């Protein structure tokens, strides 16, 4: 069954391993022939929210299946973020299906880097400052190590110390930049289920023997993805992140992948400017859509969820990345 699921999955978040991880996390996962739904229970209620993230383009057959599963699992609504690039005709088609625009989970745009180009072609396409920073990191003695645990890399195994450092740096980064981060337990479970199959890879950048930057990448089908990254505020001047991105690109090419998805793009954000230095292509997805199952509860949920996210952002400023 696992092979059938992954054969039709078009994104790691639709993979068998991701479903197993989310079940271990406490969600209910319903697997249908062409996609999987993840149901999350709303605390202190019998209600749930369903999500189909980076699944196929919705059609009437799919939505009928979703309505049945939504009612069966007492869902208020099911959120869809198809792994489909924007097209006005496709958007018009979605609107005829009775879906409504929803609050996004992922940014509607992302950056893609073409991994089929040669290293020379890629380097020449980078912004001059980016090329300079890559060379600077190399001259300063920054080294990047790729997770040797993955079966795809035929390695012996990454140290637990490196992954624990990733967790520590994630805590530091979330506090420093003021964003909400998943807990250590969440990351450990994700790694447990996605690493053995060769989906998840851990990259570390060292300076003077100390790990100062850590990234987790996903490799799935022809794509490399960059979902998680964290770094120390120490030694910022050695430009470890610039070298890390270059080595991630080289990793993707060595695995025979064709595209590197940098996992999001937001105007005005510092990390967006950093990514732009690698001359990626901007891609726009079809967006976020809600299939409303329980109309009376949907509006109430929208109000409550807005308050919830405000509290989470506030909490991030005063609490630490917990276990």
- C-alpha 119/C-alpha 126 separation (Å) is 11
* Among 187, 234, 191, 184, residue whose Cα is nearest residue 211: 234
What's the whole-model pTM score?
0.90
Domain count for the chain? 2
- Predicted local distance difference test score (pLDDT) of residue 228: 94
17-26, 177-186, 269-278, 313-322: range with lowest mean pLDDT: 313-322
**pLDDT tens sequence across 127-140:** 999 999 999 999 99
At 270, the pLDDT band (50, 70, 90 cuts) reads confident
At 81, the pLDDT band (50, 70, 90 cuts) reads very high
What is the three-class DSSP state of 204?
A: strand
Identify the CATH number of the domain in which residue 136 sits. 3.40.630.30
Whether residue 139 is found in the same domain as residue 80: no
Q: Which two tokens stand for residue 27?
A: 């969600």
DSSP designation for 203? E
Whether residue 172 is found in the same domain as residue 268: yes
Whether residue 91 is found in the same domain as residue 138: no
The answer to whether 101 and 290 are in contact (CB under 8 A) is yes
At 180, the pLDDT band (50, 70, 90 cuts) reads low
Round to the nearest angstrom and report the end-to-end CA distance of the chain. Answer: 33
- C-alpha 225/C-alpha 140 separation (Å) is 27
Query: Does residue 6 lie within any of the structural domains?
Result: yes
Query: Does residue 149 lie within any of the structural domains?
Result: yes
Q: What is the mean pLDDT of the chain?
A: 91
Range of the structural domain that residue 39 is part of: 2-106+285-316
Whether residue 159 is found in the same domain as residue 196: yes
Whether residue 289 is found in the same domain as residue 306: yes
Whether residue 73 is found in the same domain as residue 146: no
* Among 109, 111, 128, residue whose Cα is nearest residue 275: 111
Query: Does residue 164 lie within any of the structural domains?
Result: yes
Whether residue 39 is found in the same domain as residue 141: no
Query: Does residue 321 lie within any of the structural domains?
Result: no
Query: Does residue 323 lie within any of the structural domains?
Result: no
pLDDT, average across residues 104-117: 97
Whether residue 94 is found in the same domain as residue 239: no
Query: Does residue 12 lie within any of the structural domains?
Result: yes
Whether residue 177 is found in the same domain as residue 216: yes
Query: Does residue 262 lie within any of the structural domains?
Result: yes
Whether residue 100 is found in the same domain as residue 212: no
* Among 120, 37, 114, residue whose Cα is nearest residue 282: 114
Whether residue 134 is found in the same domain as residue 240: yes
**pLDDT tens sequence across 82-98:** 999 999 999 999 999 99
Query: Does residue 322 lie within any of the structural domains?
Result: no
Question: Which stretches does DSSP call E strand in the chain?
Answer: 28-32, 35-41, 48-53, 75-81, 100-101, 109-114, 143-146, 200-207, 210-220, 223-231, 259-261, 281-284, 289-292
Our CA angle for 94, 12, 19, nearest 5°, is 90
- C-alpha 177/C-alpha 182 separation (Å) is 14
The residue among 271 and 310 whose pLDDT is bigger is 271
Q: Which two tokens stand for residue 115?
A: 């991994």
Whether residue 164 is found in the same domain as residue 199: yes
DSSP designation for 85? B
């Amino acid at each position: 069954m696992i092979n059938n699921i992954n054969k039709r999955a078009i994104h790691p978040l639709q993979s068998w391993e991701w479903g197993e991880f989310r079940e271990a996390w406490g969600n209910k996962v319903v697997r249908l022939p062409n996609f999987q739904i993840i149901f999350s229970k709303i605390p202190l209620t019998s209600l749930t929210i369903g999500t189909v993230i980076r699944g196929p383009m919705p059609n009437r057959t799919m939505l009928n299946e979703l309505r049945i599963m939504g009612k069966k699992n007492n869902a208020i609504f099911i959120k869809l973020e198809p792994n489909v690039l924007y097209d006005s005709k496709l958007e018009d088609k979605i609107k005829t299906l009775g879906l409504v625009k929803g609050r996004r989970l992922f940014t509607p745009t992302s950056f893609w880097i073409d991994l089929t180009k040669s290293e020379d072609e890629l380097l020449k396409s980078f912004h001059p400052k980016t090329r300079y920073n890559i060379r600077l990191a190399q001259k300063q003695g920054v080294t990047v190590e790729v997770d040797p645990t993955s079966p795809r890399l035929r390695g012996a195994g990454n140290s637990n110390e490196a992954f624990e450092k990733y967790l520590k740096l994630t805590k530091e980064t979330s506090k420093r930049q003021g964003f909400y981060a998943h807990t250590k337990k969440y990351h450990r479970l994700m790694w447990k289920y996605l690493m053995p199959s060769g989906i998840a890879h851990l990259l570390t950048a060292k300076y003077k023997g100390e790990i100062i930057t850590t990234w987790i990448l996903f490799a799935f089908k022809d794509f490399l993805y960059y979902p998680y990254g964290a770094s120390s505020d120490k030694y910022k001047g050695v430009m470890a992140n610039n070298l890390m991105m270059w080595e991630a690109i080289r990793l993707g090419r060595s695995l025979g992948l064709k595209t590197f998805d940098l996992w999001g793009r937001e105007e005005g954000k510092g990390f967006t400017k950093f990514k732009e230095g690698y001359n990626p292509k901007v891609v726009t997805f079809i967006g976020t859509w809600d299939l409303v199952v329980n109309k009376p509860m949907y509006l109430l949920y929208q109000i409550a969820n807005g308050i919830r996210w405000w509290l989470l952002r506030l909490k991030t400023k005063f609490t630490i990345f917990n276990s």
